């Protein structure tokens, strides 16, 4: 009996040694990729445990090339309308249809119908991205797309782009949330198409219009995968878009990652870059803004960089972290403000947010919003108030100063949101401003500095004449006219501000004096203010009384009183038409020119 036991033990140890040896040789021959192909050797339970324990540290950090090179090659050979993201056009015979579909979509949906649902788009990633490897151990995703009356072909192209450009193992499902659409083609035609062609796509139908925020929440509740990816219903995922989004989440689940959002032109469906990255931010009216990359971000153009707020439409987040944060505040209505809510709580409650340059997704920025949301009143203001009250602490005041109607607005019940913040021991908004959005107030100060100068701008050579912008808009000229102070008949717009941005604008408006030509007599026109960079930069020389445009090759504002025209030209200190008197000059601000506003 005893001998038997000994020989069984001997046999087992020999077998175990053999198995271990086999595994070792296997691994040696195949690198350490053994874990992704289940071994067919039936291992005793104990050994499986050993195997698991040994595998973890070795494989957890292993990186692979996730790119589907075969697919990339196939796509490069495609030809046809809109392929490779090249701009395309409709025959004029379709003008009536084009107009009809524009009205309900805000983009050229008739053209979309002529472009393949599987079209190729240009791989415009930074060249470093093409060489990058990512962790082999990544969690799969549920892609959630909420839509209200989306055009059929753009919605399906969103799905196809995700399916075509995601590794099969990383895509669990796509959840389409129909936010009570009324378009007929989004009913059984959509069901049938999805049933026949898109087995990974599931459709959830909401009974009543609930808005983007609750639509996304409904989809996220149904999601099975460990990572949630939210997309707009008119997006196109680009080559190898998922691994760069997933790796930072695999390294720390309290992470949210946004792709670069490329532009799909609303008229031609051309696919192009918006820019090569910037950090998300906001101004104190809560308009979404962008801050420049930091020097360390610029050094590594293919590495994820920290971003204070997301643009909103497209991002990946671990489901665990999303739900720890309570998802979106379900009290937010329709659309808007949710990107701030989630961004603030990610940062303040112990998480982090990145933009991943190697993940790119195109989005159709509409020409105009096609559907009315007015049935909910000022839902955007109410959303902002909820976000400000729950997350922004004393900084809410700076929002209310600019949006005073929010002060008296009822934000609804905030108890749950506030107790969540307490429960998670989230940090203060001051911490967020100091540590994460630390350069925001340089560009968007809490309190706007006073104007450098304001009032009428009168020509000295022709002293009856003043600058006049006539209430005009983008690309229209600023002219010279009789000063309305002395000539009440003149119907003009003659009050201006030389603001702390170092731009000049008609009082209270956001159109700025702009020079778009480099020739000798470049006309003065208006263009939406863009922060005094480049061609909207002005300086008033109090002593010489000149208005100087630009910094690298400055030119002076001059007037032709006979033709009532104004333009910039070579500065000439002897010219009296190049001299101007601004009604009010704030000498204290002028003496601090270098210290205030943009450094130029």
* Sign for the pseudo-dihedral over CA of 268, 101, 237, 307: positive
User: Binding partner of residue 212 among Mn ion, ligand UDP, none, CB under 5 to 8 Å per kind?
Assistant: ligand UDP
- Interface mask (CB under 5 A) for Mn ion, residues 218-237, using x and -? --------------x-----
DSSP state of 436: I
What is the size of the binding site for ligand UDP (CB under 6 A)?
Answer: 15
**Helix, strand or coil for residue 248?**
helix
- Among 441, 460, 335, 457, which residue's Cα sits nearest to residue 395? 441
Do the Cβ atoms of 279 and 355 come closer than 8 Å?
A: yes
* Selected range binding ligand UDP among 124-132, 209-217, 481-489, 557-565, rule: CB under 6 A: 209-217
Q: Between residue 216 and residue 235, which ones bind ligand UDP under the rule CB under 6 A? A: 232-233
Smaller CB distance to Mn ion: residue 148 or 421?
148
For 398, residues 6+ apart whose C-beta sits below 8 A from its C-beta are: 284, 446, 447
Token pair 């949301």: residue: 373
- Residue 142 contacts residue 177 (beta carbons within 8 Å): no
- Cβ distance to ligand UDP smaller for residue 337 or 506: 337
Residue 362, interface with ligand UDP (CB under 6 A)? no
> Whose CA is closest to 172, among 143, 193, 146, 145?
143
Closer residue to Mn ion (CB): 265 or 467: 265
Query: CB of 181 within 8 A of CB of 147?
Result: yes
Among residue numbers 293 through 352, which ones bind ligand UDP (CB under 6 A)? 313, 334-335
Smallest gap from Cβ 26 to ligand UDP, in A, equals 47
How far does the chain reach from its first CA to its final CA, in angstroms? 94
Task: List Cβ neighbours of 508 (8 Å cut-off, separation of 6 or more).
Answer: none
Closest CB to ligand UDP among 75 and 179? 179
User: Which one among 82, 85, 122, 215 touches ligand UDP, defined by CB under 6 A?
Assistant: 215
Residue 179's binding partner among ligand UDP, Mn ion, none (Cβ under 5 to 8 angstroms by kind) is: ligand UDP
Task: Rule CB under 6 A: choose which of 30, 366, 418, 517 binds ligand UDP.
Answer: 366
Backbone angles phi, psi at 290, to 5 degrees: -130, 140
Least separation in angstroms between residue 269's CB and ligand UDP is: 16
Nearer to Mn ion, 172 or 232 (CB): 232
- Read off the DSSP letter of residue 334: B
Residue, CB closest to Mn ion? 232
Taking the least distance from each CB to ligand UDP, the nearer of 334 and 436 is 334
| Options 113-121, 206-214, 255-263, 545-553: segment touching ligand UDP (CB under 6 A) | 206-214
Residue 380 or 443: the one with the smaller Cβ distance to ligand UDP is 380
How many CA within 13 A on the CB side of residue 500? 15
Please select the residue that binds ligand UDP; options are 51, 83, 179, 247, rule is CB under 6 A: 179
Smallest gap from residue 312 Cβ to ligand UDP (A) = 7
The least distance separating Mn ion from the CB of residue 21, rounded to whole angstroms, comes to 57
| Residue in the structure block whose two tokens are 């976000």 | 387
Smallest distance, Å, CB 213 to ligand UDP?
A: 8
Residue 385: which of ligand UDP, Mn ion, none does it interact with, CB under 5 to 8 A by kind?
A: none
Measured CA to CA in angstroms, residue 7 lies from 10, 11, 14, 20, 85 at distances of: 5, 6, 10, 20, 71
- Rounded CA separation 434/432 (Å): 6
Binds 146: which of Mn ion, ligand UDP, none (CB < 5-8 Å by kind):
ligand UDP
Pair of tokens at residue 350: 């112990």
Residues 510-549 interacting with ligand UDP (rule: CB under 6 A): none
Structure-token pair, residue 122: 């240009």
Looking at the chain, the number of H-run helices and the number of E-run strands are 18, 27
Taking CA atoms, 235 is separated from 56, 121, 299, 314, in Å, by: 37, 12, 29, 9
Applying CB under 6 A, the span of 36-44, 211-219, 317-325, 526-534 interacting with ligand UDP comes to: 211-219
Q: How large is the angle between the packed helices 338-348 and 379-391, nearest 10 degrees? A: 10
Contact status, residue 239 vs residue 123, Cβ threshold 8 Å: yes
Residue 211 binding ligand UDP, by CB under 6 A: yes
Site string for ligand UDP, 123-152 (x = CB under 6 A): -----------------------xxx-x--
Q: Per CB under 6 A, which region of 126-134, 208-216, 401-409, 532-540 contacts ligand UDP?
A: 208-216
Task: Give the H/E segment covering residue 566.
Answer: strand 565-569
Q: Is residue 206 part of the contact set for ligand UDP (CB under 6 A)?
A: no
Answer with the entry of ligand UDP, Mn ion, none that 78 interacts with (C-beta below 5 to 8 A by kind).
Answer: none
Q: Are strands 511-514 and 525-528 parallel, antiparallel or unpaired?
A: antiparallel
Q: How many residues bind Mn ion (CB under 5 A)?
A: 1
Give me the residues that bind Mn ion (CB under 5 A), please.
232
Contact positions toward ligand UDP, by CB under 6 A? Answer: 146-148, 150, 179, 209, 211-212, 215, 232-233, 313, 334-335, 366
């Amino acid at each position: 009996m005893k001998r038997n036991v000994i020989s069984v033990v001997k046999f087992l140890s020999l077998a175990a040694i053999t198995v271990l040896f086999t595994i070792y040789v296997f691994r040696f021959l195949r690198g350490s990729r053994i874990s992704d192909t289940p071994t067919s050797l039936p291992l005793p339970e104990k050994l499986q445990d050993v195997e698991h324990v040994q595998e973890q540290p070795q494989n957890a950090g292993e990186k692979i090339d996730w790119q589907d090179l075969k697919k990339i090659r196939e796509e490069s050979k495609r030809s046809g309308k809109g392929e490779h993201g090249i701009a395309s056009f409709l025959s004029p015979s379709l003008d009536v249809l084009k107009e009809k579909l524009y009205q309900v979509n805000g983009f050229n949906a008739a053209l979309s119908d002529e472009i393949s649902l599987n079209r190729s788009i240009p791989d415009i990633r930074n060249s470093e991205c093409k060489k990058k490897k990512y962790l082999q151990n990544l969690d799969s995703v549920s892609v959630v797309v909420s839509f209200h009356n989306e055009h059929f072909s753009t919605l399906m192209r969103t799905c196809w782009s995700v399916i075509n450009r995601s590794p099969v193992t990383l895509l669990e499902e796509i959840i389409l949330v129909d936010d009570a659409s009324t378009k007929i083609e989004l009913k059984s035609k959509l069901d049938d198409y999805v049933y026949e062609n898109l087995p990974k796509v599931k459709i959830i139908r909401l009974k009543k219009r609930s808005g983007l925020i609750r639509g996304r929440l409904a989809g996220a509740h149904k999601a099975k995968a460990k990572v949630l990816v939210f997309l707009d219903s008119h997006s196109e995922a680009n080559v190898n878009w998922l691994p760069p989004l997933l790796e930072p989440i695999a390294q720390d689940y309290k992470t949210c990652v946004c792709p670069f959002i490329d532009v799909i032109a609303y008229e031609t469906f051309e696919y192009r870059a918006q820019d090569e990255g910037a950090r998300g931010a906001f101004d104190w009216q809560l308009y979404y803004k962008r801050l420049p990359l930091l020097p360390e971000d610029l050094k590594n153009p293919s590495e994820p960089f920290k971003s204070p707020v997301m643009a909103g439409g497209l991002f990946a987040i671990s489901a665990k972290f999303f739900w720890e944060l309570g998802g979106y505040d379900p009290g937010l209505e329709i659309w808007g403000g949710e990107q701030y809510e989630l961004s603030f709580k990610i940062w303040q409650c112990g998480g982090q947010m990145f933009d991943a340059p190697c993940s790119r997704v195109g989005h159709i920025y509409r020409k105009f919003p096609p559907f009315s949301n007015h049935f909910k009143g000022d839902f955007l203001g109410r959303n902002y108030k909820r976000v400000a009250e729950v997350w922004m602490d004393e900084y809410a005041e700076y929002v209310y100063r600019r949006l005073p109607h929010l002060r008296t607005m009822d934000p609804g019940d905030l108890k749950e949101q506030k107790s969540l913040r307490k429960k998670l021991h989230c940090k203060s908004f001051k911490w967020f401003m100091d540590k994460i959005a630390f350069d925001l107030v340089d560009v968007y100060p809490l309190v706007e500095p006073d104007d450098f100068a304001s009032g009428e701008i009168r020509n000295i050579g022709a002293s009856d004449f003043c600058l006049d912008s006539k209430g005009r808009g983008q690309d229209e000229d600023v002219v010279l006219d009789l000063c309305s102070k002395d000539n009440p008949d003149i119907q003009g717009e003659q009050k201006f501000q030389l603001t702390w941005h170092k731009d000049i604008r008609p009082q209270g408006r956001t159109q700025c004096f702009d020079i778009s030509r480099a020739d000798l007599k470049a006309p003065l026109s208006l263009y939406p203010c863009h922060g005094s960079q480049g061609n909207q930069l002005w300086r008033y020389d109090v002593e010489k009384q000149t208005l100087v445009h630009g910094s690298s090759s400055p030119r002076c504002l001059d007037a032709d009183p006979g033709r009532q025209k104004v333009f910039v030209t070579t500065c000439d200190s002897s010219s009296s038409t190049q001299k101007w008197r601004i009604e009010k000059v704030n000498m204290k601000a002028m003496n601090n020119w270098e210290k205030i506003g943009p450094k130029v």
